[in-house]
C-alpha cells in the first residue's frame, strides 16, 4: 500500500490515501466502514435512488447570508478561462496529420 501513496498518478495516490484512512479508522466507523464501500452508487439508477442534490441547494441559505453581508455574487466568467479558436493558426500548433 505504501508504494501507491507515492505513485506519480494522482488518482492512485488519492485512492491509497482513502484506503489508508479506512484502514486506520475502521474501528471508529459504523460497521467497520463497510457501509461506506457498499453504499457507493455505481449506476445511474442507483444515483437516482439516492436523490443526490447536484445543484447543492442546501447551500442556498449560506449563500444568501454571505450576499446579505456584502460578499460579491458568483461570477461564472471568473471561474474558468475561456478558450477561443484563433483564425490564423500559421504560427501556432498544427493538429492535422502530416
Residue 15: pLDDT band with limits 50, 70, 90: confident
CA distance linking residue 74 with residue 82, whole number of Å: 17
Residue 75: pLDDT band with limits 50, 70, 90: confident
- Helix or strand run (H / E) with residue 47: helix 44-50
DSSP of 61-97: HHHHHHHHTTPPPP-GGGTS------S--TTS---S-
pLDDT tens readout for residues 36-70? 666 666 677 776 777 777 788 889 999 999 999 99
pTM, 2 dp: 0.37
Which grid coordinates belong to 52? 443526490
Q: What SS3 state is found at 86?
A: coil
Amino acid at each position: 500500500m505504501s508504494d501507491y501513496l507515492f505513485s506519480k498518478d494522482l488518482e492512485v495516490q488519492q485512492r491509497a490515501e482513502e484506503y489508508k484512512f479506512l484502514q486506520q479508522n475502521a474501528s471508529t466507523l459504523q460497521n467497520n466502514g463497510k457501509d461506506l464501500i457498499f453504499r457507493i452508487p455505481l449506476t445511474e439508477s442507483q444515483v437516482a435512488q439516492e436523490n443526490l442534490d447536484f445543484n447543492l441547494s442546501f447551500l442556498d441559505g449560506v449563500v444568501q447570508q454571505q450576499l446579505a453581508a456584502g460578499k460579491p455574487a458568483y461570477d461564472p466568467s471568473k471561474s474558468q478561462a475561456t478558450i477561443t479558436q484563433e483564425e490564423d493558426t500559421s504560427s501556432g500548433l498544427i493538429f492535422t496529420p502530416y
